[in-house]
Chain A
Amino acid sequence: MGPLIPNGVIPYEWDNIIAILIGIAFGFVLEASGFSSSRKLAGVFYGYDFAVLKVFFTAALVAVIGVYYMDYLGFLDINQLYVHPTYLWGAIIGGIIMGVGFVAGGFCPGTSLCAVAIGKIDAIVYVGGIMVGIFIFSELYPLFQPIYEGYFYGNVTLEDSLGINPYWFVFIFSIIAIVAFVISDMVQKRVKKIFY
């Protein structure tokens, strides 16, 4: 039963080799989907290209449906998976700052790495910026510590926080995503085409 490495089905020594292989697949899919182009990524915020919306939400849905289905079939124990912790104000404030960074720089960290790999100089500069941002955070850590460590709710899921049935949530989330895809195509038809 999965997860395989934590349960010793695959020896721990394979962990880093698997990391590289998973990374190769991740980089390949992102680049092939056009995520090495900042102008394509930024399109989602101006309505001329919704690839980010479509790739991101399709991926999230396929993953969450797969996780719950494999748990249901007994291949994977959902309780053993790492749930990203909820630090309420850290998530909100950090997310807001990242959003401004996204639209200003046209990349997020994963996509900027793909662009670095194919020689985009703007992406190399962007990655340098990320490292400066991390440096600033680390040096001013006492200033950020209250929101970094405070308002902690544990490694909770929406099931814990909102008390909703995860299966129903995933079903409704899928419908919202399909509606969003249809609307995004309608918007894209009306918006002036941008060639890049």
Chain B
Amino acid sequence: MKKELKQKSKHIYWNPYYGGFLLGILILFTFYLTGRGLGASGAMKSSVVSIIESVAPTHAEESSYYSKFITEDESPMKNWLVFETLGVLIGAFISGGLSGRIGWRIQHSPKITSKRRLVFAVIGGVLFGLGAQIARGCTSGAALSGMAVLSTGGFITMLAIFGSAYATAYFFRKNWI
């Protein structure tokens, strides 16, 4: 009986309107404190920059992109978004831990293999990483935080993300349904 309850609780998530309301309050609070919104891909950019800087320092300095984020005395990891991202990992770990959702697994539709799931995860990640650089932000930094202050670019990015995802969903349907 106890095990059954535990199994069930794994998929009980918050009401989406409740989660959305709290997320909205958090974005508002973030703007109120820092004058900026939230972000997620920024920390991954800082990680890439600092890896390249330590592996190939001259290449990083000569590159017109990496060099934008390198300063003489400070590491690119000493950045607001990197600290925020560390917090995201902690917060998600606490939430997952409280609901018993922590564990090593590859989540995929029973109709596809784990290998196929991982291959598509890599492809999706590469595309998202590339797109987030071109648009200067991802769903958090550009779309959500942009929309909170009615940024034109934020709305355009949001429409482009959802528009292209709906337009191409048909080709990826085997992975999900």
- Which A residues fall within an 8 A CB radius of B? 2-6, 10, 15-16, 18-34, 36-40, 42-43, 45-46, 48, 50-51, 54-64, 66-67, 70, 75-76, 78, 80-88, 90-110, 112-123, 125-139, 141-142, 144-145, 147-148, 153, 155-162, 166, 169-170, 192, 194, 196
Contacts and interface: CB of A to CB of B under 8 A. Distances in A.
When A and B form their complex, which 9 residue pairs have the shortest distance between CB atoms, in order from nearest? A105-B124, A23-B87, A129-B125, A133-B129, A95-B160, A62-B24, A94-B135, A58-B20, A27-B91
A33 B151 CA distance: 26
A67 B139 CA distance: 19
Given A50-B16, A55-B16, 5 more contacts: A95-B161, A98-B139, A103-B165, A106-B175, A119-B103
A53 B175 CA distance: 20
Contacts of A32: 13-14, 19, 95, 99
Contacts of A156: 151-153
Contact of B88 (A40, A113, A130, A159): A113
Nearest to B118: A125
14 contacts: A36-B96, A51-B16, A90-B136, A92-B157, A98-B132, A99-B163, A109-B128, A109-B138, A122-B107, A125-B121, A130-B41, A138-B52, A138-B65, A166-B150
B104 A93 contact: no
B95 A153 contact: no
Contacts of A141: 63-65
With most chain B CB atoms within 10 A of its CB, the pick from A57, A134, A155, A157 is A134
With most chain B CB atoms within 10 A of its CB, the pick from A15, A21, A105 is A105
A107 B124 contact: yes
With most chain A CB atoms within 10 A of its CB, the pick from B44, B92, B130, B146 is B92
A98 B128 contact: yes
Given A94-B133, A137-B65, A58 B21 contact: yes
Contacts of A66: 24-25, 28
B165 A100 contact: yes
